[in-house]
Amino acid sequence: MRKINCIFVIVMVLILAGTGIEIFATKDRSFSENENRYLEERPQISLSNIENTDFQKSLENFISDQIPEREKLITLRSVAKELTGIKDIEGAYIGKDGYYLEKITNEDVSEEQLKNNIRYINTFFNKNKELKSYVMLIPGSGNILTDKLPKYADVYDYNYYEKIAEKEFTNNADNNTQIVNTYDALKKLSKDYIYYKTDHHWTTKGAFIAYNEFCKVEGIESEPYENLEMKNVTDKFYGTLYSKVLDKKKKGDSIEIAENIPQCNVMINGKKSEIYHIDKLKEKDKYKVFFGGNYGVVSIENNEANNDKNLLIIKDSYANSFTPFLLKDYNTITIVDYRYFSGNLQSIVESNNITDVLVLYEMSNFMKDKNLVKMMF
């Protein structure tokens, strides 16, 4: 027995040593397309930083990210967890009917950050009282598709935070801000395909439901869904939640785009662009078909508009599939994403003759976003 144990230990040591040698001997991979993220690259090793805790953490991440056959190991781990009944894999709940749902609990969001971000926005709204201002804080799939969640799954309390947001926006602001509630409409149609099964975003149909609710509050006529000539451009979209699980047997999501939209001039960070980037369907992150991804500033001019309404959207990526529905209703639309924008928002308002402003975020993103403080400068 001792001999067997000794052989086992020797074999394991040789395997680990061989793996370590391979990690350090081979060229680092900088990006994982399946996981849609940059991988930790080898840290600089020196006597001065070996005892540094940041260095140790970087080294651990480097070994984890660069381990040979990493993605196959992730798949095996996921299969093993599912076979043992575990429904939480790296922050993705394995839900019913083929759904993955993002695990976001009350511990993952910050009420303090929520109030801070509302304060920043209210300061901007109060400075621009002449603007018609709207706020849409969208529930995530785990808040709406509750029947798809596994038993005992923990998700943050959207309705609690939504009430806080509504109170902070209406009671502590000297302006005419209107809250656009999308929860009820999305919940009513939760049996429809309104959130992707492998990604954290809503589908184009989900974005359209929110567009209808915005139109009701804004007082404009919404375009019927069938008039938009929706086209399925792919059924092989594997999103951010798939990247956590990497189940090779998983069926991909489909993405729709509206073909019957106005002809517009689009500028992204000062360069000519398009609403839809069909070339992005060749990439892993096919959600980039909408505007090509996320950018600091996107400017859209509708040559067919017969009004002088100019909309500013302050947003996260949920707005990317939402914005095309609004094109017919505004002369111009300017989109600002504070993750990539460090300019002066007031100058954008003045130079673009902004008349309306919409803040559109998924709620948990809004509660975690620390970039909106830049609005104060």
Count other C-beta atoms under 10 Å from residue 128's C-beta.
Answer: 17
Task: Going residue by residue through the chain, which has 377 residues, state the pLDDT in tens, using 9 for 90 and above.
Answer: 455 445 534 543 443 444 444 444 566 555 555 555 566 566 666 555 555 565 556 555 555 555 555 555 555 555 556 555 568 888 999 999 999 999 999 999 999 999 999 999 999 999 999 999 999 999 999 999 999 999 999 999 999 999 999 999 988 666 689 999 999 999 999 999 999 999 999 999 999 999 999 999 999 999 999 999 999 999 999 999 999 998 888 999 999 999 999 999 999 988 999 999 999 999 999 999 999 999 999 999 998 888 999 999 999 999 999 999 999 999 999 999 999 999 999 999 999 999 999 999 999 999 999 999 999 98
Output the pLDDT for position 72. Answer: 57
Output the pLDDT for position 176. Answer: 81
Phi-psi region of 195 (alpha: psi -120 to 50; beta: other; left: phi over 0): beta
CA dist., res. 283 & res. 151, Å (int) = 34
Output the pLDDT for position 69. Answer: 55
Walk across the sheet containing 100-102 and list its strands. 88-89, 92-94, 100-102
CA dist., res. 338 & res. 369, Å (int) = 9
CA dist., res. 145 & res. 153, Å (int) = 12
Q: Residue 296: is it exposed, middle or buried by C-beta count within 10 angstroms (0-12/13-18/19+)? A: middle
What three-state secondary structure class fits 202? Answer: strand
CA dist., res. 325 & res. 258, Å (int) = 8
Output the pLDDT for position 31. Answer: 56
286 token code pair: 């096919």
Output the pLDDT for position 369. Answer: 97
Output the pLDDT for position 76. Answer: 54
Output the pLDDT for position 8. Answer: 39
Phi-psi region of 327 (alpha: psi -120 to 50; beta: other; left: phi over 0): alpha
Q: How many CA atoms lie within 13 A of 63 on its CB side?
A: 11
